[in-house]
Amino acid sequence: MDNEIILVPSKLSRPRFQEIAALRFGDMVKGVVDIEKRIMAIGGDLHADEEAYLLERGSVQENLWGVNLQHQNLAGGKWQAMSLAEQLGNIGSEYERAWSWKQKNNLPYFEKAFFRMIELIDLTLTDPRWKGLRLREIARLREQVCEELTETGKTKSLSKYFLQFAVEARG
């Protein structure tokens, strides 16, 4: 069962949870819940693994931030016409903006850039072309940018990652 993600459509017994935990992290199980469908995915190494697993099976990524969509025209289908390099290049632009505003201690501008970036990542996560490992990478990227931009003292480590996609998209 190593690295196996399990879909939990109903109750799971405590012994089963303990069995899964023993195989992974000892006394802990990571999981992601689709509240609408009332299902849960557990057993991955990362939350991003379970998120990708649910998205591949028809779960929908919602705007969890409670802010209005900034990219209405992209959400209407233009985003899915872009290549992955174009999508990640655009996400990288918002990442750079957010980082810059964070360094300048301009919280309102930082938040706007941050939410635009998350929105673009979420649009990428719901693009039906991206499946499997690619989808997991995008979900993991979402975790990474959130961690990097919201924790104090973190270094700016994703610039080179995004830059390669921006260069490829222009090429």
* Confidence at residue 108, expressed as pLDDT on a 0 to 100 scale: 84
83 and 47 share one domain: no
* Confidence at residue 10, expressed as pLDDT on a 0 to 100 scale: 74
* Confidence at residue 69, expressed as pLDDT on a 0 to 100 scale: 47
Which DSSP state fits 152?
T
Alpha helices in the chain (DSSP H): 14-24, 47-56, 72-73, 84-103, 107-125, 132-150, 159-170
Burial class (CB in 10 A: 0-12, 13-18, 19+), 51: buried
In a domain, 67, yes or no: no
87 and 164 share one domain: yes
49 and 100 share one domain: no
In a domain, 1, yes or no: no
- Number of domain units in the chain: 2
48 and 77 share one domain: no
* Confidence at residue 98, expressed as pLDDT on a 0 to 100 scale: 92
105 and 160 share one domain: yes
The alpha carbons of the chain give a radius of gyration, in whole angstroms, of 17
79 and 41 share one domain: no
**Which residue range forms the structural domain that includes residue 26?**
6-56
* Confidence at residue 2, expressed as pLDDT on a 0 to 100 scale: 46
* Confidence at residue 62, expressed as pLDDT on a 0 to 100 scale: 56
Token pair of 84, please?
């992955």
Mean pLDDT per 10-residue segment, the chain (171 residues): 69 80 75 76 76 74 50 64 93 92 88 89 91 92 89 77 88 75
